């Protein structure tokens, strides 16, 4: 269940922008292996509850005026619900994923096929390990790019070449925050929230320089994946348990929408993990054949 709690007294200066999201229902969700510290094989998973919680997130997006398209889940891919990892779609390029772990490898083709069939092509198949929006977050005219646990640093150069956007490398150092989207949330084209301890000292310095007015999350909110959030520029959907972060966001004029995804947290994912943003593309350039475009 979601609700519009934490609405600030004056949020009129925040303007939402309609978004287009791609999501996959957790029809086959389970915790069958451990590829991050959140996963404990054998843990009880209530799939019906996971589906209800996921549907609540979808319904909330639509109620806020956003478009949500759905990719059919594939049996045998229990993590496919975490759609953000499936690709990166900017205004200038659509780049498929190349997963670090074989358990998720087949998800890349499922998302690439959907994107290619729905006008988002050509879909470029990366050479380097690249876990989509899990590690590539678009902030205005730049991309913040995570590395350290999944996405290869070489993928950052590859994405910069394909998109034509500036890509800024940020090293993650805490295995609990294995993707950038678990440690940093994009709030609008100029504003982010993040948990400094998830990053190397160099990355912390980069973030402090780029975003001196960033919202700094505490350890308790980071530990419930409160930063695995989605913002339309006004409304911020985030884990209901991240109450201190919610208060900070409200104080800065955002309308906080608490979301309960307790079942999907068992796989190490939250609101953003379930949500791949499809940025309405400009005419796409067909890059060299070596990029694997199709």
Q: Please indicate whether residue 179 is annotated as part of the active site.
A: yes
Q: Please indicate whether residue 273 is annotated as part of the active site.
A: yes
Predicted local confidence at residue 280, as pLDDT? 67
d(CA 90, CA 207): 22
Element spanning 117, H or E:
helix 105-117
Please pick, among 66, 179, 235, 274, the residue that the annotation labels catalytic: 179
Residues 6+ apart with CB under 8 A from 199: 170, 171, 172, 173, 183, 207
List the one residue out of 32, 87, 21 whose CA is nearest residue 54: 21
Predicted local confidence at residue 10, as pLDDT? 57
Please provide the average confidence, as pLDDT, over all residues in the chain: 93
For the chain, domains (ranges, CATH) are 20-281 (3.75.10.10)
Predicted local confidence at residue 1, as pLDDT? 40
Please pick, among 124, 156, 273, 274, the residue that the annotation labels catalytic: 273
d(CA 102, CA 263): 23
Residue with tokens 């899990």: 134
257-269 burial, b for 16+ CB within 10 Å, e for fewer? bbbbbebbbbbbb
Residues in the chain, pLDDT under 70: 1-12, 280-294
Predicted local confidence at residue 51, as pLDDT? 98
Burial of 77 (0-12, 13-18, 19+ CB in 10 A): middle
pLDDT per position as a tens digit, 43-58: 999 999 999 999 999 9
Q: Phi and psi at residue 121, in whole multiples of 5°?
A: -85, 175
Taking a C-beta distance cutoff of 8 angstroms, is the pair 134, 273 a contact? yes
d(CA 278, CA 222): 26
* pTM of the complete model: 0.92
d(CA 281, CA 164): 13
CA pseudo-torsion sign 31, 26, 177, 86: positive
């Amino acid at each position: 269940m979601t609700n519009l709690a934490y609405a600030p007294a004056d949020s009129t200066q925040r303007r939402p922008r309609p978004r287009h999201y791609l999501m996959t229902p957790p029809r086959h969700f389970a915790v069958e292996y451990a590829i991050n510290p959140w996963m404990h094989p054998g843990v009880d998973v209530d799939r019906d509850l996971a589906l209800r919680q996921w549907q609540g997130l979808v319904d909330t997006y639509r109620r806020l005026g956003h478009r949500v398209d759905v990719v059919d889940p594939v049996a045998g891919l229990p993590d496919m619900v975490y759609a953000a990892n499936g690709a990166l779609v900017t205004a200038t390029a659509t780049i498929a994923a190349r997963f670090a772990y074989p358990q998720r490898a087949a998800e890349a083709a499922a998302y690439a096929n959907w994107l290619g069939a729905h006008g988002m092509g050509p879909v470029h198949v990366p050479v380097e390990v690249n876990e989509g929006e899990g590690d590539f977050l678009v902030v205005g005219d730049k991309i913040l790019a995570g590395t350290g646990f999944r996405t290869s640093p070489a993928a950052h150069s590859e994405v910069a070449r394909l998109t034509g956007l500036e890509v800024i490398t940020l090293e993650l150092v805490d295995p609990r925050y294995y993707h950038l989207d678990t440690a940093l949330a994009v709030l609008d084209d100029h504003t982010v929230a993040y948990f400094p301890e998830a990053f190397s000292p160099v990355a912390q310095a980069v973030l402090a320089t780029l975003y001196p007015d960033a919202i700094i999350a505490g350890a308790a909110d980071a530990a419930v994946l409160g930063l695995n959030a989605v913002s339309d520029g006004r409304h911020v959907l985030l884990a209901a348990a991240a109450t201190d972060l919610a208060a900070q966001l409200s104080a800065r004029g955002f309308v906080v929408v608490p979301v309960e995804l307790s079942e999907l947290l068992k796989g190490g994912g939250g609101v953003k993990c379930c949500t791949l943003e499809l940025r309405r593309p400009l005419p796409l350039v067909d890059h060299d054949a070596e990029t694997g475009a199709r």
